[in-house]
């Protein structure tokens, strides 16, 4: 795994803020979460924590959080960490996505994994050995903690004011791993103070925890913010230099092009390519796409990267397309296959999991159009019922990107993308049912263009 380079400051800050932070463990991709907080006074762990934790006196849970170093290596470490843990941990100890954050504080989220270790051996169990190796290698980038069930005799009565009625106790404590990890004991040195914290119930957050960090990590609201990420990638992803060079070479976009610019949006296989080609012929228009053709050589490379980098690439692509739009529309109408709606909707829908109610609320600033990105005259959003879309995908029989495959298999993801599309504000956006014949869809969109666009 690649190592983030810079200092421990965030690691120390996260460790110092434990009693203000909330931890959210994603128990399954359908959006079931376990939320808990940490307090110095003894109290029962939330019922969901006790239900999720393994049984037995030696049972442990662990948290591994990525929070040291610069954001690009940090994002890549987080991506690699999941695979690394799945490869090495014993069967039954699956890493569950974990978020730690200060409630309602933007950009306070750090991510990692929560592990439930039901090993009968130890401690230290095989899981703990694996984690010790990891901690040794990434001490300046990872915060690691263990959680263990308290024995009845260890604690005095706590805030709950009752003795535990269960033999093994229903209180759980968190222990931050100090350096070196071999010194980790029941009460460890936590940046100078000896501290054991209790796992306690807390309120569920208003929205999915990832919403706190979407701005400028998943969705970029200016060209400068997206370029900043690619600048930070220069040394580790040399292709980002070529992309930055292309942005630099393209002439600045014109905010008010002469002829209409119409963007066609929709999930894959809703008929965007079919419609954009027919519109080109019908209107004598020029046809563009986002990401633009000139970025094609690097798209697959950036698709392998974690969201921070991948989304910055697509964001930059929109600005290059915008400049081409401005040039093209001085001569004829312009039709564009995907643009900002795709970039923002897929990014937001991937950042959060679970049902549509986990999305940032309608009206959130996260759905705002970037002030420096030219708006088209009209956006047409093609919608299609899932069965017909699947039929078209199968008929077409081409390879799909990972995200497309996910759309196909993950009903909730598809609903989130569609809803995020609808919530985005900016240019006029009209949803069109793409189920009728290709010609009927074309006629309907031509009418919309006539009614909504002035040349």
Distance CA(232)–CA(362), nearest Å, equals 32
Report the site for ligand LCLUPRNS in 329-368 (rule: CB under 6 A).
338-339, 342-343, 346
106 contact choice in ligand LCLUPRNS, ligand ATP, none (CB below 5 to 8 Å, kind-dependent): none
240 contact choice in ligand ATP, ligand LCLUPRNS, none (CB below 5 to 8 Å, kind-dependent): none
Query: Cβ 126 to ligand LCLUPRNS, closest distance in Å?
Result: 37
Residue whose CB is less far from ligand LCLUPRNS, 40 or 403: 403
Query: Cβ 396 to ligand ATP, closest distance in Å?
Result: 4
> In terms of DSSP H, where are the helices of 89-182?
126-137
Query: Cβ 295 to ligand LCLUPRNS, closest distance in Å?
Result: 10
Q: Which two tokens stand for residue 169?
A: 């106790």
Among 153, 167, 203, 395, binds ligand ATP (CB under 6 A): 395
* Residue 31: C-alpha distances to residues 26, 28, 358, 422 (Å): 7, 6, 8, 21
Distance CA(278)–CA(154), nearest Å, equals 74
Residue 324 interacts with ligand LCLUPRNS (CB under 6 A)?
no
Residue 276 interacts with ligand LCLUPRNS (CB under 6 A)?
no
| H or E stretch covering 404 | helix 402-409
Residue whose CB is less far from ligand LCLUPRNS, 48 or 404: 404
The DSSP output letter for 368 is P
Among 30, 104, 396, 425, binds ligand ATP (CB under 6 A): 396
Please compute, for residue 185, the number of CA atoms within 13 A of its CA located in the half-sphere on the CB side: 5
Query: Cβ 304 to ligand ATP, closest distance in Å?
Result: 19
274 contact choice in ligand LCLUPRNS, ligand ATP, none (CB below 5 to 8 Å, kind-dependent): ligand ATP
C-beta separation of 191 from 16 below 8 A: yes
Query: Cβ 263 to ligand LCLUPRNS, closest distance in Å?
Result: 9
Distance CA(402)–CA(408), nearest Å, equals 10
- CA angle, 352 as apex, 348 and 356 as ends, to 5°? 85
Please compute, for residue 93, the number of CA atoms within 13 A of its CA located in the half-sphere on the CB side: 25
Sign of CA dihedral 447, 453, 454, 455: negative
Site string for ligand ATP, 255-274 (x = CB under 6 A): -----------x-xxxxxxx
* Residue 29: C-alpha distances to residues 208, 349, 355, 419 (Å): 12, 13, 9, 18
Q: Which two tokens stand for residue 114?
A: 């929560």
Distance CA(33)–CA(1), nearest Å, equals 28
Among 240, 290, 324, 358, binds ligand LCLUPRNS (CB under 6 A): 290
Residue whose CB is less far from ligand ATP, 39 or 422: 422
**Token match 């679970």: residue?**
354
C-beta separation of 432 from 266 below 8 A: no
Residue 247 interacts with ligand LCLUPRNS (CB under 6 A)?
no
Residue 403 interacts with ligand LCLUPRNS (CB under 6 A)?
yes
Residue whose CB is less far from ligand LCLUPRNS, 91 or 300: 300
Residue whose CB is less far from ligand ATP, 99 or 276: 276
Residue whose CB is less far from ligand LCLUPRNS, 178 or 406: 406
User: What residues are paired with 262 via a beta bridge?
Assistant: 335, 378
60 contact choice in ligand ATP, ligand LCLUPRNS, none (CB below 5 to 8 Å, kind-dependent): none
357 contact choice in ligand LCLUPRNS, ligand ATP, none (CB below 5 to 8 Å, kind-dependent): none
Q: Is the omega angle on the peptide bond into residue 112 within 30 degrees of 0, that is, cis?
A: no
Q: Which two tokens stand for residue 366?
A: 């996260």
Phi, psi of 192 (to 5 degrees): 95, -15
Residue numbers at the binding site for ligand ATP (CB under 6 A): 266, 268-274, 392, 395-396, 434, 437-438, 441
Residue numbers at the binding site for ligand LCLUPRNS (CB under 6 A): 268, 290-291, 314, 317-318, 338-339, 342-343, 346, 401, 403-404
């Amino acid at each position: 795994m690649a190592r983030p380079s810079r200092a421990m400051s965030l690691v120390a800050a996260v460790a110092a803020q434990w009693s203000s932070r909330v931890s959210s463990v994603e128990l399954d991709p359908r959006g079931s979460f376990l939320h808990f907080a940490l307090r110095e006074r003894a109290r029962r762990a939330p019922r969901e924590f006790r239900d999720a934790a393994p049984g037995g006196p030696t049972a442990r849970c662990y948290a591994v959080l990525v929070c040291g170093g610069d954001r690009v290596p940090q994002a890549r470490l987080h991506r690699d960490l999941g695979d690394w843990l799945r490869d090495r941990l014993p069967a039954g100890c699956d890493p569950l996505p974990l978020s730690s954050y200060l409630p309602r504080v933007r950009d306070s989220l750090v991510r990692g994994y929560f592990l439930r270790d039901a090993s009968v051996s130890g401690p230290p169990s095989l899981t703990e050995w694996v984690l010790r190796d990891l901690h040794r290698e990434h001490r300046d980038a990872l915060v690691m903690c263990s959680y263990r069930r308290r024995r009845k005799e260890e604690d005095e009565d706590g805030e709950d004011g009752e003795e535990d009625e269960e033999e093994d106790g229903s209180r759980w404590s968190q222990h931050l791993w100090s350096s070196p990890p071999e010194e980790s004991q029941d009460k460890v040195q936590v940046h100078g103070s000896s501290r054991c914290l209790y796992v306690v119930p807390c309120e569920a957050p208003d929205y999915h925890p990832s919403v706190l960090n979407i701005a400028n990590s998943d969705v970029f609201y200016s060209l400068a913010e997206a370029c900043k990420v690619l600048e930070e990638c220069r040394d580790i992803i040399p292709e980002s230099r070529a992309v930055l060079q292309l942005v630099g070479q393209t002439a600045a976009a014109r905010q008010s092009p002469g002829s209409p610019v119409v963007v066609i949006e929709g999930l894959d296989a809703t008929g965007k390519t079919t419609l954009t080609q027919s519109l080109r012929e019908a209107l004598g228009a020029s046809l563009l796409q986002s990401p633009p053709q000139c970025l094609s050589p690097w798209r697959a490379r950036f698709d392998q990267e974690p969201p921070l980098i991948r989304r910055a690439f697509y964001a930059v692509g929109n600005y290059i397309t915008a400049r081409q739009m401005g040039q093209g529309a001085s001569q004829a109408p312009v039709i564009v296959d995907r643009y900002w709606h795709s970039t923002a909707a897929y990014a937001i829908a991937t950042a959060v999991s679970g049902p549509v109610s986990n999305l940032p609320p309608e009206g959130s600033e996260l759905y705002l159009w970037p002030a420096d990105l030219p708006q088209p005259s009209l956006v047409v959003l093609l919608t299609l019922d899932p069965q017909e879309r699947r039929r078209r995908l199968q008929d077409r029989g081409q390879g799909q990107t990972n995200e497309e495959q996910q759309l196909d298999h993950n009903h909730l993801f598809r609903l989130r993308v569609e809803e995020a599309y609808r919530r985005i504000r900016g240019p006029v956006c009209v949803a069109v049912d793409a189920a009728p014949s290709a010609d009927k869809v074309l006629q309907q969109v031509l009418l919309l263009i006539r009614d909504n666009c002035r040349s």
